[in-house]
Structures are given as C-alpha cells and as structure tokens.
Amino acid sequence: MAHRLADNSAAIFSPSVARIAASTARDWSYVDAWLASKSPAWKTALPPFERNQDTLKALLALVSLNEAADDQRRLLARVDAVALQGLTAAQNKAELATSSTGGALTKGHLLDAIEHSLPKDGASALDALTTVASEAATASPDPDHLGSLMLRLQGTIYGAEQTAARVDAFERHIRREAEAAEELLHTLQGECYKPPSDLAKQNLDVQRRIKTVSAQLPDLHDRVTSLGASVVTPYLTIGDAIELEQRYHALLFHMKELSEHIAALSQE
C-alpha cells in the first residue's frame, strides 16, 4: 500500500507530467476564451465529458483556421478601404475638373470616371480585354474579332502540335534506321565477313586455271566441229512416219490376237 502511494505521488509531482498538465490547461483556457468571444452561448465551460485530448486538438485546429480566415478578411477589408479612398479621391478630382471646365465633361474625364467606377470584376475583365487586344495588335478590341483571332490561333497551335508530333515520329524512325544501319555495319565488320588471309594466292590460282582453260578452248572447239561433221543425223520423212505407224498398229493387232489365244488356252 505504501509502495502504491509512493508511485502515485511520483506520478502526480513529476515535472514532465506537470508541464503537460499546465500546457493543456493553457490550451483549454485559450479555447474557452475564443468560444466565449464567438458566441454568448459558449460563455459557460464545456461539459466535463467533452474535455479530452481529441476535442482539444479539434478545437485548436478550428481556432487556427478561424484566425487565419479573420486575418485574410481583415486584409481584404483594408484593401477595400484603400480602394474606396482612391475612388473617392478620383471622384473628387473629377468633380473639381468638371467645376473648373464649367460643368462640361470631356471624353478623357468620362473614361477616367468610368474606369475608376468599375468594380473588381469589371476592372479585371477590362485588363484581360486590353491584354488580348495588345497581343492581337488590334486598336479596336471587338469581342467577335478577338474570338475569331483566338480560334485561328487555336487552330494554328493545333497544327503546330500535329507537325511536332509528326516530326517526333519521323525522328524516332530515323533513329531506329540509324541504329539498324550501325548494327549492320558492325556485323559486316565482324570476323565472318573478313576476306581470307590467302585471298591473293587463291586469285593467282584462279587466274592460272582461266589461262589454262582459255588455251584449251580452240582445241575443244575443233573437236566439237569434227564430231559434228562426222555424225549424220537421220531425218524422218512423212512416208517413214506412216510406215512406222502401220508397223505399230500391226504389232498391236498381233499382240491382241496372242492375248485372245492365251485366254482361250487358259479356259480349256
């Protein structure tokens, strides 16, 4: 029992635990003050069952986001105030110019008044229109004309993209052909396509054989001529062909008779 009390007292009076408890208490105090500033309903403290680490973490994140949004809104309000002061000064200046010119508004004064009276969206649209007109090199920025220019520009961009794609494909094809040519050149430069070391000797042997055969050609030609003159080629006439045909038919008839005679003998 005494040992358990000693452990509990050590846990309670531990410096790290005390720092964590103090930090948590400060965070809850900050969150309670922020909730009370946002709504009177949150002036009372949160119920005890809601006071846990998850709720504290979520509320701290909400406070941080809300403060960032408040800072942004304050900055926008300051910018709007400065813009309003500028518009007021421009309006006062225009009124002074009007009074000095006897109440007659010139074109420049009217344009300045319109420009300074435009809202933010109108000023942004006017700036965009001016930028497009300057890029298109046109003095009168007609929306229809600018739209047609943008369409033509889009078509030109598309054509350029297609041309670039075709050039890339052609470049890849050329690269593949170059690689194939390099591979073929490497193959042709290999050992399989190198001439034999005794090529000169083989050439000499072939030339010697050619000379020998060339020297024998006249003798062979004379022999062929003499043999052709000594051999008599028989020529058949029409009568010889008819006689041979008759002999052939006679032999066929005789063979048929012999076949019939043999068949008759076999039946007996």
Domain boundaries, the chain: 17-74, 142-193
* Maximum alpha-carbon separation in the chain: 160
Mean pLDDT value across the chain: 77
Q: Is the pLDDT of residue 233 over 60?
A: no
Give CA 203 to chain center in angstroms.
59
Q: What is the pLDDT of residue 7?
A: 44
Q: What is the pLDDT of residue 128?
A: 80
Quote the DSSP letter at residue 47: P
Q: Calculate mean pLDDT across residues 239-265.
A: 81
Stated pTM of the model:
0.32
Q: What is the pLDDT of residue 194?
A: 79
Q: Calculate mean pLDDT across residues 216-240.
A: 70
Question: Which segment of 76-80, 106-110, 195-199 scores lowest on mean pLDDT?
Answer: 106-110
Of all residues in the chain, what percent carry a pLDDT higher than 90? 10
User: Which candidate, 75, 90, 88, 83, places its Cα nearest to that of 120?
Assistant: 83
Q: Cα–Cα distance between 268 and 258 in angstroms, integer?
A: 16
Q: What is the pLDDT of residue 5?
A: 42
- Which two structure tokens, joined as six digits, stand for 19? 């720092």
Higher pLDDT, 199 or 5: 199
Q: How far is CA 234 from CA 117, 237, 242, 253, in A?
A: 126, 10, 16, 28
Q: Cα–Cα distance between 115 and 117 in angstroms, integer?
A: 5
pLDDT digits (tens, 9 = 90+) for 4-54: 444 444 445 577 777 888 888 888 888 888 877 776 666 566 677 777 888
Q: What is the pLDDT of residue 98?
A: 59
Burial of 132 per CB tally in 10 Å (0-12, 13-18, 19+)? middle
Burial of 31 per CB tally in 10 Å (0-12, 13-18, 19+)? buried
Q: Is the pLDDT of residue 136 over 60?
A: yes
Q: Is the pLDDT of residue 250 over 60?
A: yes
Q: What is the pLDDT of residue 46?
A: 67
Q: Is the pLDDT of residue 90 over 90?
A: no
pLDDT digits (tens, 9 = 90+) for 58-76: 888 888 888 888 888 888 8
